[in-house]
Amino acid sequence: MTAAAAAFTPAAGGWRALARAYADSPLALAGLALLMVIVAAALAAPWIAPQDPYDLSQLDIMDSRLPPGSASADGSLHYLLGTDGQGRDMLSAILYGLRISVAVGFSATLLALALGMSLGLVAGYAGGRLDAFVMRAVDIQMSFPAILTAMILLALFGQGTDKIVIALVASQWAYYARTTRGAALVEGRREYIEAARLLGLSTPRILFRHLLPNCLPPLIVVAALQVAAAIALEATLSFLGLGLPVTEPSLGLLIANGFQYLYSGRYWMSVFPGVALLLAIVALNLVADRLREILNPRLQSQ
Amino acid sequence: MTLFLLRRLLQTAQVLFVMSLLVFVGVYAIGNPLDMLVDPQATAADTARVAAALGLDQPLWVQYWRFLGNALQGDLGTSFLHGTPALQLIVQRLPATLELAVSALLIAVLLGIPLGLWAGLRPDSFGGRTIMAGSILGFSLPTFWVGLMLIMVFSVHLGWLPSGGRGPTREFLGLEWSLLAPDGWRHLLLPALNLALFKLALMIRLTQSGTREALLQDYVRFARAKGLPPRRVVGVHVLKNIMIPVVTVAGLEFGTLIAFSVVTESIFAWPGIGKLLLDSIGQLDRPVVVAYLLLIVFIYTLISLVADLIYAALDPRVRLAGGQAA
């Protein structure tokens, strides 16, 4: 990750080159567009949703379990994607659920990135016992699948938005730590770091102003992939009833709630939130895949 | 080798000890099981008597010490709810999970290797591209989502296969097997397929990249130049050499299959240990939760220990670098 990746560091004005290389793939552009629509829809949910799905005064039990396209009993609303068991508009519920899923996925990824990156940077730069200790922890963490770590923590601490973010961070920080440490080991031996040290710059300044920017390219790829993994994992845990509480229904919980109706053919209550989840994951994967193609020197030389 | 073995065993024991402490303290920090076990109208004296009978009135470290001592003798506590030993509950459910996991692994290997081989031999053909695109989906789609779709299509819509439960089993070698019962395998098929999906994608990608690399090697080019028929080149020279990583990964991933079976068992109401775990978490049945988590960590650590020892036996470089974290 040195020569080719260096062309894309911000110092070299590489962001524009990165954008240009990214735009070469129409599929990746479509993925990016889809991702932007999804994030925009999630952010704007309170303003674009036909109803507030969690304001009980807006729900009418007479409207429960209506198939997609039905009109409400009082004729004021069209349920484009049908309603759930409580007469809630599925489209609104999905938009609000998407908001929670995206928020949890991104915040967990950012926190895990910050934690793993700092640990990896310090470990790679300092070396010695600290390095051995951090990497031992990384090895142990990575020998367990993410879902097992998250399940253990949620079984221990119970449900909650903060708890699921903690569980996601705990199961993902090791990827960033390992990636950063690898990059820091290589970059740390270069002349500019030595020069910075000779100039008498403080260690934090060397780490975060000089070393970090040059370790970023591989981290961007890992982070892009991990957002999708975090959203999928959160949905799985919420589906199992281990994740978010009923008061904050993410897509996973919506799918779980609609699951019981699947057997009677009322597919819309779980399939539509499922499609929303699928679109979000596929869009993120398309973007991440393209970034990896651009930023991975091994693939580039082929 | 002896030093490496000792060091590795010590490390395994450390991991198990830390995990047992974490799991124990954490599990005992949530909720108060007395609230659930004792009738709310019971007197304080009655509640205290139940707490004393279950050992819940002791300080936490005493409870842990007792728990650790018992655990080393194979006693992981008694289920609050069922009144039977937690380990026994789990062991009773284990065959169902193992059958599911083994079936899933078989599906992944038996479908994944031929598909990966095909995609590796013709990387630019339509079929090859489709297989690889499909494997990306297999990686990124959440297991529970795929399970839902399988139920919707094959059970609800087409009505071909049952949507859940284990169905009839037949006894063989003292264990109950779904595969041997005439209707049992129909119950097994969807959950096994669901659980297999992620590993199937992994097998396809491993085999595909292995095949592509092997095709460039001198021994394959020589075999071709010698005029060996393509079937023999692929079947013997390519396949034999990519089997090493494939078999390794298949073995290492078995623990993941057991961990992931929690999801599949919950969707298909499969009566294995994963479903037991979820039920026990919901009912605050701590001994079962502790026993499950410890058992799965134990299985996991054991698999990676065995894998490391085999590597060390095969490759002296691992032994020499063994002590340092790399």
For the stretch A56-90, pLDDT in tens is: 666 666 666 667 766 666 666 676 667 776 767 77
Work out how many CB contacts closer than 8 A connect A with B: 109
- What is the DSSP annotation of B52-67? HHHTTTS-HHHHHHHH
Nearest CA distance, A161 vs chain B (angstrom): 16
Calpha distance B85→B77 (Å, rounded) = 6
C-beta of residue A227 within 8 angstroms of C-beta of residue A284: yes
pLDDT for A113 equals 92
Nearest CA distance, A168 vs chain B (angstrom): 15
pLDDT for A5 equals 44
Nearest CA distance, A222 vs chain B (angstrom): 14
Which residues fall within 8 angstroms of residue B261, CB to CB, at 6 or more apart? B97, B100, B101, B195, B270, B272, B273, B274
Is the CB of B145 less than 8 angstroms away from the CB of A277? yes
Mean pLDDT, rounded, of chain B: 77
Tell me the CA distances in angstroms from B240 to B116, B213, B236, B244, one per residue in order: 14, 13, 6, 8
Is the CB of B144 less than 8 angstroms away from the CB of A255? yes
Nearest CA distance, A57 vs chain B (angstrom): 31
- What is the DSSP annotation of A137-171? HHHHHHHS-HHHHHHHHHHHH-S-HHHHHHHHHHH
C-beta of residue A204 within 8 angstroms of C-beta of residue A213: no
> Is the pLDDT confidence value at B291 over 60?
yes
> Is the pLDDT confidence value at A301 over 50?
no
C-beta of residue B126 within 8 angstroms of C-beta of residue B301: no
Q: Once rounded to an integer, what is the mean pLDDT over residues A160-170?
A: 88
Lowest-confidence range among B167-171, B199-203, B216-220? B167-171
pLDDT for B29 equals 58
Q: Which residues of B touch A241 (CB under 8 A)?
A: 278, 282
> Is the pLDDT confidence value at B134 over 70?
yes
Is the CB of B277 less than 8 angstroms away from the CB of A155? yes
Q: Which of B30, B136, B149 sits opposite A157 (nearest CB)?
A: B30
Q: Which residues of A touch B151 (CB under 8 A)?
A: 262-263
pLDDT for A2 equals 42
**Residue B176: band (very low, low, confident or very high) from pLDDT cuts 50, 70, 90:** low
- A301 or B39: which carries more pLDDT confidence? B39
Q: What is the pTM of this model?
A: 0.80
Could you tell me if B259 lies within 8 Å of chain A, comparing CB atoms? yes
AA letter at A199: L
Q: Which of these, B50, B116, B45, lies nearest to B83 by C-alpha position?
A: B50
Is the CB of B262 less than 8 angstroms away from the CB of A157? no
Half-sphere exposure of B88 toward its Cβ, with a 13 Å CA cutoff?
8
Could you tell me if B152 lies within 8 Å of chain A, comparing CB atoms? yes
Residues A243-300 pLDDT 10s: 777 777 888 888 888 777 777 767 777 888 888 888 888 888 888 888 887 876 554 4
C-beta of residue A146 within 8 angstroms of C-beta of residue A171: yes
For chain A positions 183-212, those within 8 Å of chain B (CB to CB) are none
Is the CB of A140 less than 8 angstroms away from the CB of B15? yes
Is the CB of A236 less than 8 angstroms away from the CB of B29? no
Is the CB of A282 less than 8 angstroms away from the CB of B277? no
Most confident option among A101-110, B152-161, B305-314: A101-110
Q: Which of B293, B300, B325 sits opposite A155 (nearest CB)?
A: B293
- B1 or A50: which carries more pLDDT confidence? A50
Q: Which residue of A has its CA nearest to B254?
A: A145
Q: Which residue of A has its CA nearest to B298?
A: A144
Tell me the CA distances in angstroms from B43 to B33, B46, B48, B51, B303, one per residue in order: 16, 5, 9, 13, 49
Q: Which of B22, B300, B325 sits opposite A139 (nearest CB)?
A: B325
Tell me the CA distances in angstroms from A77 to A54, A71, B165, B181, B217, one per residue in order: 16, 6, 40, 52, 66
Q: Once rounded to an integer, what is the mean pLDDT over residues B306-311?
A: 74
Could you tell me if A157 lies within 8 Å of chain B, comparing CB atoms? yes
Calpha distance B53→B216 (Å, rounded) = 69
Alpha helices in chain B (DSSP H): 2-29, 33-37, 44-54, 60-72, 86-121, 126-140, 143-150, 184-215, 218-225, 230-232, 239-252, 254-267, 273-282, 286-314, 316-321
Q: Is B99 exposed, middle or buried (0-12, 13-18, 19+ CB in 10 A)?
A: buried
> Is the pLDDT confidence value at B38 over 70?
no
Q: Tell me the three state secondary structure of residue B172.
A: strand
pLDDT for A10 equals 47
Question: Which tokens belong to A254?
Answer: 């919506």
- A35 or B220: which carries more pLDDT confidence? A35
Q: Which of these, B288, B252, B314, B241, lies nearest to B1 by C-alpha position?
A: B314
